[in-house]
Structure 1
Amino acid sequence: MSETKLHIVVFPWLAFGHLIPFLELAKRIAQQGNKISFISTPRNIHRLPKLPESLKPCLHLIEFPLPHIDELPENAENTDDTPQHLVPYLFKAYDALEQPLTKFLEKSTPDWVICDFAPLWLPPLSSMLGIPCIFFCSFAACGSSFGLELIMGKKSMESSEAKLLRAVHKRKEVDQSSKPKELNRFFETLKGAQVIATRSCMEIDGEFVKSLERSSGKLVIPIGLLPPSPEDSNDHNWYTILNWLNKWEKGSVIYVAFGTEVTLSDEEFTEIGMGLDMSGFPFFWTMKNRNTSGGSDESQDWIENESKRGMMWRRWAPQSRILAHKSVGAFFPHCGWSSVIEGLQVGCPLVMLPFQYDQWPIAKFMEEKKVGLKVHRHEHDFKFTRDSMAKALTSVMVEEERKCYRSGAQEMSKIVGDKQLQEKYVNQFVDYMKMNRPGYN
């Protein structure tokens, strides 16, 4: 095999749940001496974790200003900055990056483009320029396979996950009927790409990798789970959090985090808070940009509830380090794939409350793997209650079932945390790109 290094353009969607795994993949490819052009908008680039000095010669963070759209708030360059009902306009701004990206690709002539689900125009563009395109699906393979089968009519719309997805999608729908919806973007981008890379490993979700390959009719390459790199131990937030966690007994704290894109209604927020209180366990809840006490100072980083058993943190938090702390006994996430991977990396059992898209099949799959338990939702309105929450939390934290979930999570951590295994997948992916780049052979 030629030892010539690759040049790869990486173009993620404007959401942290996508930017971070794309950056993690870029870092691992760059570690082998390959050149990476990682393209996003200035505000997103500046908010990414700092790159190790050793990677800076190979991994270039390139800023494309986001085209102005009147309907978007000032400085909105990410789903985290954008109210949910305005996200369609963020897609519109993202689509307007086609012109500067075209010029960049024409000038730099990379070996490959790795793109996200959102730019359905990029696979045909890269094909026209003679640059092969890989669709990197940063979702779990179970979610991607489920979504594709749903679109293609191979999965019944009457399945429980499909009903939930349809109900939530209706509530989120914005009058943008002339624009491609998110699932259509996923399908069109996948259809146009030469290859699909999935954030999976055969030891955990191999059955869904094979299913995705069958449904798409394309080569699907598992690239490993990309567990996050160690976080900065000098972060000042960590010491405040650490002091609070150190007060509690081993395995007694519930860590709660619903990512950056889940927007809770007042009713949902109340039910979650009451359910946590009813469980009787201390909890640490990261909740970005939410007023939690009816007029409290928004500049305040954290608030303790009246019982002093609950900490509500309102800034960025070092999630991996919190999950690894000895006092944390369960992780209560929204079932985003990145969060699930972080929890399983340290063998932390899950209490799962999915809200959208791939989170439903992920929760079902993790429950089948006996690493956690879903919070029950009513079938008629898909709502959860404080009682259903408290029951799930109690099952994972104190009842006999806890042994099963903890055992399952710890067994899975042996796979997620196996650095050699995860590196092997990335190495095989890089080997594929070297052997199949234009002009090779």
Structure 2
Amino acid sequence: MTPTRYLHGFGNEFESEALPGALPIGQNSPQRCPYGLYAEQLSGSAFTAPRHLSRRSWLYRIRPSVLHIREPKPISQPLWKTAPCRHVSAPFGQLRWSASAVAGDAGSLIEGMRTIVTAGDCGLRIGMAAHLYLAARSMEDDYFYDADGELLIVPQLGELRIFTEFGLIDCVPGEICVIPRGVKFRVELSAGASRGYVCENYGAPFTLPYRGVIGANGLANPRDFFAPTAAFEDKEKPCRFTIKSGGAFYRCEIDHSPLDVVAWHGNYAPYKYDLRKFCPIGALRFDHPDPSIFTVLTSPSDEAGVGNVDVAIFPPRWQVAEHSFRPPWYHLNIMSEFMGLIYGRYDAKPSGFEPGGMSLHNAMLPHGPDAEAFARASREELVPAKIDDGLAFMFESRLPFYPTAFALSLDTLQKDYADCWSGLRRQFTGEGP
């Protein structure tokens, strides 16, 4: 297996070449590029965006991308839905699913994409969709890019080797990988079948959250994000190339690999991050802090301080708060929350929320610890204790999530989810403290 090498940093101006001298020096588009390559710019922002928001990369490739879109034919991908998608009457209330098995005929990661919820409007570039992927085979001569949004991939079972235009990324459970809008890729399964989650972000590209009074350190550090070094496929054989645009899917038959970028430079590139390198911030004396302190990435909206999509995690960490109810408190909030469990257990739901499972709590729907977690947390001795047996994540949006017909038809949907709170009995005594 080809070893993977990475460039360190988030949003940096990188440069990388797979052949010596392939990267032009001094100008982006010379009259003749080295090695007979073609210069092509990939823009992830408007040309006139402020410099600190400008995202673009120059690619030096064997063939330009105009040769990749050849006689596109519409194809059906019926279980991958795009917002707005409100064709189903969903039950009102909290929802939770157990893990879904990966069938032997599940297909590739792209073929195995199953939309669970959507929010917003892809055409207006707001909102997102949360997908479950079930993959049983590698994409050998199949390639894909998403023109509707960037893809944040969260493996939960099995390892992925992601071949992108920019180079190779290996991604295992406990890591995430972000493929920007318009970047071509294929995925190999490095260790058999794979299952995981995908956030398809229609809005502004993910960036690091504003840390405010936290200061320069803590949460996700920029140096822990890795972009790939240049690597290319010089493959001359029949290949299939699929594009998602406007919620529709198109397939082209081409005679070569589209992953033929020999050199590149810029700040619009795929990247990965190891969630276990996240530096949690917490309460050192009392009270359970807001979950926003666990934000890894955010897609900003036009409303200051309110995310189009926030990606948060609940990693291993120390609990030291005294005279406090340590798990998350019962709450209703303006944001909608889609959660998944990568491994271990979630401290607020020790039973019923399993690795590979999912839950949905829409805006202003009450939720919080189940009866078992409440009883334990109310009685336990409040000595320093470490939560080190689980890793959960949350996609949070200011927009409401709409479950799909597929999600509501799953036999893993827990019809009795709300019963996890039925053991919360009246404790009111009428007496003072």
More helix by proportion, 1 or 2?
A: 1
Larger Rg: 2
Higher relative contact order (CA 8 A, sep 6+): 2
The structure whose residues are more often strand, as a share, is 2
For the criterion TM > 0.5, the same-fold answer is no
| TM-score, structure 1 normalization | 0.28
